[in-house]
Chain A
């Protein structure tokens, strides 16, 4: 619940002051997080939609906070790379967008929490990015449209050392070319 609230607040803040579409809601540590959204934002899209109308970015569905396509993060369970049900509709929407826009290209960046081997975490993050890619390909994206890379545990969005920080860091971030 708290997470959703934070997500809404973050999205509101983003929408309210966003004439520069690149502005980020949070995570000053992760300087180039594509279209950063807080965890839970994916499930709060409907609530934020109402304030997005005046936004210049609304013409581009990728940047319209009211569009599910503006949601760019997918979160994972500990040591897991299965896409959770919460994020399937988000990935389907991006897959369909890629299908409808064959010139569009994205990179999915996989991340892990800070626990465990740096190298194993790079592989785990890669696996998370690849899992998202596979789901988007099932929805119509082509292989060539999606690059996947991993930062492992090297670029945590939340520098904390507790479960809420870890949950935020077990994440895929989607970035479109030209974002």
Chain B
């Protein structure tokens, strides 16, 4: 193990969390409560024929994509005064993502919830793509749990914690019902949304059994000081009003070999992610060794988000 590599990863660790690691390595997040420059972006962008007639993502040529990304970059520069980067990473070959969550280890800290919101430029109205249920031990019925628990000291006695986000189902009901195919499952398993094609009918939201899809009822309120400028067209770029959005397994990170933001923020290491087709990955090992299960299996949605107790 070279010193150089060690430093590089140390930096990576600190950068991925955006904070210095404290003594004893406890991964405490530094809460920066500066006067947030919250921008309720209300300026409706001027009508443009290009934007109106823009084709579906799958039908865009490389040339057209460049124009679209340039337009988005310019729009965000006008709105926020910030230079952003729009990436369009392709799915990696031989990769199918899966996620596993150890329910014995999750302590309900909601650090994943916060990290997700920051990484994906999620407006305050939506909050986060992750919802954590505080469940009483002995039941898997979400009705018996609560999303609104306050936790001065977690985990609480007699409770376990169930974070839920998009499961990127193999047999997803949301992609089935979308009338315009604005949402689809990519080759590497990620279910994505083309925010410039979505008509906002919210049928996918009615169809999803996991409450994983979120709608922009208004122009999103973005905290410019916390804007993540590394954006991608299909994932964490700032969405317009009237369209759906959802967890994309941090496509802008995962297709670049990085772990999703929620995993890196988890203080207990309960979250595991990787390529289930790779026999050496930890996710594959979990699948082989642990008694994994999925939520609402009877619906046959075939989620790629697995839970286990150990």
Chain A complexes with chain B: no
What is B's interface to A at a CB cutoff of 8 Å?
Answer: none
A residues whose Cβ falls under 8 Å from a Cβ of B: none
